[in-house]
Amino acid sequence: MRAWAAATGLLIAVLYFGGLALDLAPSPILPLMLAAIGGFELFLFVQDIVLKRSGNARR
């Protein structure tokens, strides 16, 4: 699931910034989706750090 979230976030970022570079009007939903997926990835990253420090890391 993490790989899919990262790949989806990268794809949406490329679409968004590609649209901006080509002077196209991107959908107003794209920045919201980028923020949501980025927040999800940050949460998982911090969760992995906390679990690793507590000794309950996933293997």
pTM, to two decimals: 0.61
Q: What is the DSSP string of 1-59?
A: -HHHHHHHHHHHHHHHHHHHHTT----THHHHHHHHHHHHHHHHHHHHHHHHHHT----
Query: Is 26 inside a domain boundary?
Result: yes
Query: Is 59 inside a domain boundary?
Result: no
- Domain hosting 33: range is 2-54
* pLDDT, tens digit, 9 for 90 and up, residues 21-56: 999 987 888 888 888 888 888 898 888 888 888 887
Number of domain units in the chain: 1
* pLDDT, tens digit, 9 for 90 and up, residues 1-17: 567 767 887 888 888 88
